[in-house]
Amino acid sequence: MRIIFIFALLGIASCGSIAQAQNETLRQVSVSGMGEAKVEADMARVHLSAQSQQQTSAEAKNDVDQKVNELIQVLENVGLNEDNLTAGQISISLRYNYRNNTQEFVGYFASRSIQVEIPDLELLNPFLDAALEQKIDGINQIEYRTSQEAEVKALARELAIQDSKDKAADLASAYDMELGSVITISYQSNQSSPVLYQQVGLARAESFAADSNGQYIPDQLSFTDHISAVFELESD
């Protein structure tokens, strides 16, 4: 009976310790912090396309290849080089006109997507003007980016951390408590990079080229980050 009594006492003491630990664990505050940092874009990626319709597939392909080669020359003329250009695979399809439930072959249509990296926005307008002079078939979209991505991301994270601390301190003070040490931190890095897209279209691009004062001026890029934390609460 003595052994059973001792085990019973130990069981009661253990339950009391667990209950006490649970009560202490409940004295905590959980918060989420958000940080936002903005920066001016200083880089761009231009999406273009080279297209051609000819009577034979070889003629259509050769015409598109020629336009890509001419675009490479444009890059060199404005201070860029071939390394700034990425050209996708060429696609060729048959084109028909449909009249009175009959189809009439009109030629082969060849198309190739092109991306041009602009490391300095000062080169953007000269490149667009020169590309239009070479009768490039389509300037589809401009992506604005920043070369300071790592630094601005780090700033957004720091602001998110500080925001979580400020919220936790304000809540603790509102309930007449003191903010203690951090218990847990939950953070998942935002790997995506903010990009501003500007839809251009050939007609709009030509209007900028006709106006020597035309400028593509992007808004600021906004980087955001989030963090969650649990802090211990202490009595005054």
215 compared with 164, residue with greater pLDDT: 164
Which has the closest alpha carbon to 24: 185, 183, 186? 183
> Residue 9: pLDDT above 90?
no
Residues 87, 112 contacting (CB under 8 angstroms) = yes
> Residue 5: pLDDT above 60?
no
What average pLDDT does the segment 187-212 reach? 58
Does residue 20 lie within any of the structural domains?
Answer: no
Model pLDDT, residue 20: 53
Model pLDDT, residue 53: 94
Model pLDDT, residue 117: 96
Does residue 91 lie within any of the structural domains?
Answer: yes
Helix (H) or strand (E) holding 213, with range, is none
Concatenating the DSSP letter of every residue in 64-83 gives HHHHHHHHHHHHHHTT--GG
> What six digits make up the tokens of 162?
């500080």
Number of domains in the chain: 1
6 pLDDT band (50/70/90 cuts)? very low
- Taking only the tens place, the pLDDT of each residue in 50-81 is 999 999 999 999 999 999 999 999 999 999 99
Q: Which domain holds residue 97?
A: 40-147+193-218
Does residue 188 lie within any of the structural domains?
Answer: no
Does residue 157 lie within any of the structural domains?
Answer: no
Does residue 101 lie within any of the structural domains?
Answer: yes
Distance in angstroms (rounded) separating the CA atoms of residues 41 and 145: 5
Q: Which residues pair with 31 in a beta bridge?
A: 229
Indicate which CATH number applies to the domain containing 128: 3.30.70.2970
Task: Determine the distance from the C-alpha atom of residue 17 to the mean position of all C-alpha atoms in its chain, rounded to a whole number.
Answer: 50
The share of the chain scoring above pLDDT 90, in percent, equals 61
Model pLDDT, residue 131: 87
Residues 207, 167 contacting (CB under 8 angstroms) = no
Does residue 19 lie within any of the structural domains?
Answer: no
198 pLDDT band (50/70/90 cuts)? low
What average pLDDT does the segment 87-101 reach? 91
> Residue 205: pLDDT above 60?
no
What average pLDDT does the segment 195-221 reach? 56
